[in-house]
Amino acid sequence: MSYNFMGIRRAKLEDAGILVLPVPYEKTVTYGSGTRNGPKAILEASRHVELYDDELDYEPHVRGIYTLAPLKVDNKDPYEMFQSVQEIGFRLATSGKLIVMLGGEHSITSGMVAAFAKVYNGVSVLQLDAHADLRNRYGKTDYNHACTMRRILEHCPAVQVGIRSLSRLEKRFIDQKHLNVFFMRDMRMNPDWMDDAINRLSENVYVTIDLDVLDPSIMPSVGTPEPGGIVWDEITTFLKELALHRRIVGFDVVELSPQPGNISPDFLTARIVYKLIGYIFSSQTKT
């Protein structure tokens, strides 16, 4: 996995506006497997994405992209992985560049957010996900992918969007703590959910996109493909509005489990990553 995201020449580290970190971690998956292959598939697919974005009339890659070597955490237990991601995340966040992490399972996000919370005062997290991920402990560890948002809330507030699968205990926790959760069933009946979700976020935002937030009709390559998710136009519209009204300081895309013979989800994932990069930088040129 030595090639650069989008297949372009790697910018010099000091000149790059975008740092991409692959984290092929897979230790706590509970159903479908394969997330360890996600970063490689995203990087490969990105080589076939057009550099020009016709919606933005812009080529986001001109900001300079530097893809780091994959973080070697595959032999570590979940807490050791958390510490490793937090350590490199702190170094990356202090650079002031846009940080993009490619997963890997969702458990990697809590370490990166812990790092960003130390660097950016008042940062909040936007989670796009089918699952609440609010269990306090699961699979004999506090750092299971099902515990990701519970650990994140120990560092900063969050807004959860697209939720349509959770346990009774998680729902009780949401109600007790009055968490900002946008359930998919409610979003369908509320035309203003995008504005409402954005208004609950702070100025600096870290975005985590679990691909199972998308409907399985367009994203089957996830460990738990929950029916009834959002589709391409919804997620891109929302991310564009977010970038216009908030400062996105970093983001990750996780839980891709590539399927042999089905490259469409890999390509879609690469497109989401490049789209969000484009939204972030094009919005900056308008401010």
- Rounded CA gap, 149 and 91, in Å? 22
5-285, what's its fold?
A: Arginase; Chain A (3.40.800)
At 286 the pLDDT is: 57
Q: What is the pLDDT of residue 283?
A: 77
pLDDT < 70 regions, the chain: 1-2, 30-32, 285-287
Question: pTM of whole model > 0.85?
Answer: yes
Element (H, E) at 161: strand 158-163
pLDDT attached to residue 285: 64
Return the pLDDT at 3. Answer: 83
Question: Judging by beta carbons within 10 Å of its beta carbon (0-12, 13-18, 19+), is residue 10 exposed, middle or buried?
Answer: middle
pLDDT at 33: 77
